[in-house]
Amino acid sequence: MRWLVFLAGCVWAFAAAAQPIAAPTDADMRRAVSEITEGDPAALAAADAMIAGRAEESFAAEWLDGFRPMAILFHALWETDRLIYLDWKTGRDEALAQFEGLFTTAGLVWPADMAEVVIRQIAEAAPESGPEMAFVYIPLQRLAEQQEHQIMLINDGSDAYPFFLTRRAVAERWADVALGNDMFIDHPDWQFADEMRAAGLDPRNDDHPIYRARPVPPEE
């Protein structure tokens, strides 16, 4: 009898996990922008422009029809210098320069020796130990956490890294929220989990957000 109960529970859990998550509404995404940027009027104005179809000049506008939630969030953060767009091939110096701008926009401290810290970590790593981006991300995520922030990612299903910064409490509220098919607000530790463990750190997660996907959080 117990195995029948167990089997029924497994079937229920699988069915629940298979249920599609409704895409966020425009109002949901405007709230996401408000929370992530702490009510930045310029970011909200950019979100409103995208929602109203008045952001034709934005390269994110082409995503509006098929990927509307992502387009709204991406445009609002990009237009206010709150998002950087890197990929796995981005070099160390360019990545550091863009992250410094991101930290500055967020009003966070950027130590004068931050570049030296990253350069030293890359130099000490074995050539096969991972991409340079991992050794840029790891110390910068720790730097953000020391200031009660998190580096987050708009996971658009590509090999790009659209990184943004927000307060830790906000990051926890919105992490793993599904923005549509295979798109998420993502905590990126899992993408660098092996390199983090090699550095003696515990990644916050170690698998794709599709396994943790959830709907938008309720209003506070």
pLDDT in tens, 129-162: 567 888 899 999 999 999 999 999 999 888 899 9
Q: Where is the domain boundary, 63, 80, 97?
A: 80
Residues 163 and 205 in one domain: yes
Best CA proximity match to 126, nearest among 198, 63, 67: 198
Report pLDDT digits (tens) over 10-26. Answer: 433 334 444 678 889 99
> How many domains is the chain partitioned into structurally?
2
Residues 55 and 136 in one domain: no
pLDDT for 8 equals 38
Residues 191 and 146 in one domain: yes
Q: 42 is in which domain, residue-wise?
A: 22-80
Q: In sequence order, which ranges of 125-198 are alpha helices (DSSP H)?
A: 132-146, 168-174, 193-198
Return the sign of the alpha-carbon dihedral for residues 31, 34, 37, 41. Answer: positive
Q: Where is the domain boundary, 56, 80, 104?
A: 80
Q: Which amino acid is at 214?
A: R
Residue 154 bridge partners (DSSP): 185
Q: Where is the domain boundary, 62, 80, 98?
A: 80
Please report which confidence band the pLDDT of residue 126 belongs to, taking 50, 70 and 90 as the band edges: low
Strands (DSSP E) contained in 52-130 are 83-87
Q: What is the average per-residue pLDDT within 69-91?
A: 92
pTM of the entire predicted model = 0.87
Domain-embedded: residue 33: yes
Domain-embedded: residue 189: yes
